[in-house]
Structure 1
Amino acid sequence: MKLLILSCLLAGCLAQEPRPCSSPPLLTGALAMSTQKESLWVNGKYLYDAMGQRIRLMELGTYENKTFSYDVLLLYREATMYEIHRHNRTCNKMPLKGDFQPMGIPKDASLLGQVVLGSSSGPGEGLLVNTWTGDLPEKAGKFMSTVTEFGCIPVSTLFHTDRFGWMVFSYFDNVIGILDPQDLNPPPYCQHAEMKAGDKEPVDFFSLFNNKH
């Protein structure tokens, strides 16, 4: 009888229509990214703080068969980005444009479908996910995002803009929370970095991955 009740409850959960959702406000994980118009491949670690509107990306990538490392801190409330060079303890400071976009699915997104990644034949063999599509803010392009049904954890996101074409992000090893919050603050040796007016063009999230050359 207990097994029957549990099965009915599970079936009821799976039968519910998926709804737009918000990802946890603090996340740590790894990501892989590639672009359509550039010979760019990136993989690395990310830190995400929706409450403080901060993102840090620590990446290793290849561009036109040349490897590079990249450590960048995005502070949206301050409209500032830091390029952090740990090898010589220096920083580049530049203006950051665009509004902070929280992870998750916006309310105006359209559901494409719900599927199981892996297998539904046995416990632990699959992951129930929902895929959504919609417009980027200010009609800047399109997105297609896949998140877990339970927890709204990001799995993958595809962005398309006229300027950059397709950009594909895959997320894995996600953990709720941030081990060391200090990693989302500029290192002490960045405190005196100056942002010179007109010295750098403001960057946004998308151009960040398309200026490796």
Structure 2
Amino acid sequence: MRLLVAFTCLLAGCLAQKPQPCASPALMTGAFTVTTQNEKLEMYCKYEYDALGQRMRVKQQGTYQTKPFTRDYLLLFREGAMYQIFDTNRTCIKSALKDKFHPMEIPKDATLQGQVVLGSPSAPGQGLLVNTWTGDMPDKKGKYLSTVTEFGCIPINNSYQSDEYGWVVVNLYDNVNGIVDPGQLNPPDFCRDTVMKTDEEPKNFLSLFHNLP
């Protein structure tokens, strides 16, 4: 009973404090799903995220307009390079990456929508305290909605508006602090001599989820 009272008091104290914009851990490994309002795209992804080295690996598996696809990307923002990796025939496509690195965080100009407990606050382990924020996309062409945990700023959900898909919903889970396999954030040996393609428009991060075959 004392433990339940202590947990309830702690939760009540947290709810009384005003949430603040925050940054997620600098090194993370996990997974996420992507679904779209117009039902064109469904995707499951595994990721490695390194904010210190400004690197990210994203392995995708999904369907676009009912057609299956798999893709494997390594984004090196400091180099301005994005690798599409093909393990089956040990080749790569190297493209220019025009984006600046955007860390996983809640921007300082975001607006708090609310704080809730996912699950139940009735007992320890039954609930998760989260904050939901909204704001304008960097290109000012739409809105985003982000939910993160109150403790640790671990991302739970990101939704944003897209011309092609309508609302795009990203649900994150199995997030782990740290990089489980650091080698995933370096180009494979068979990719290191790949010449960057210069005859196409530089890529940005959102191109990983758009213009699919």
- TM-score computed with the length of structure 1 as normaliser: 0.92
Q: Is the 8 A contact 1:45 1:58 kept in 2?
A: yes
CA shift for structure 1 position 13: 2.3
* Counterpart residue number, 1:128: 129
CA drift of 1:132 comes to 0.1
Which TM-score applies when normalising by structure 2?
A: 0.92
Q: Distance in 2 between matches of 1:2 and 1:207?
A: 49
SS at the partner of 2:49? strand
- Could you tell me how far 1:2 is from its partner in structure 2? 8.7
Deviation string, structure 1 residues 56-107 (Cα, Å, up to 9, x no partner): 1011111121211110011111111000001111000011112111112011
What's the counterpart of residue 211 of structure 1? 211
Aligned partner of 1:190 in structure 2 is 191
Report matched runs for 1:78-97 at 5 Å.
78-97=79-98
Match in the other structure for 2:31 = 30
Between 1:8-17 and 1:146-155, the stretch displaced more is: 8-17
Residue pair 2:23, 2:106 contacting (<8 A) in 1 also: yes
Describe the superposition over 1:107-139 as per-residue Cα deviations: whole angstroms up to 9, x where unpaired. 110000001111222221111100000112242
| CA root-mean-square deviation | 1.9
- Alpha-carbon distance between aligned partners in 1 of 2:185 and 2:103, rounded to the nearest angstrom: 16
The Cα of 1:38 is off from its aligned counterpart by: 6.3
In the TM superposition, 1:172-191 aligns within 5 A as 172-191=173-192
- Relative distance call for 1:10 and 1:201 in structure 2 (3 A) is same
Check if 1:41 corresponds to 2:42. Answer: yes
Match of 1:111 in 2: 112
Displacement of 1:37 after TM fit?
4.9
Paired residue type of 2:143: K
- CA 1:39 to 1:82, structure 2 compared with 1: closer, same or farther past 3 Å? same
For structure 1, list consecutive stretches of 5 or more residues without a partner in the other structure: none
Whole-angstrom CA distance in 1 between matches of 2:101 and 2:165: 19
Query: 1:12 and 1:38 mapped to 2: Cα distance?
Result: 41
Percent identity of paired positions between Structure 1 and Structure 2: 57
Matched-pair contact (CA < 8 Å) for 1:54–1:75: yes
Deviation at 1:206, TM superposition (A): 1.5
8 Å contact 2:8–2:121 — kept in the other structure? no
Cα distance, 1:88–1:17 mapped onto 2, change above 3 Å:
same
Partner amino acid for 1:201? E
Q: Is the 8 A contact 1:53 1:100 kept in 2?
A: yes
Q: 1:4 to 1:155 in 2, by over 3 A?
A: closer
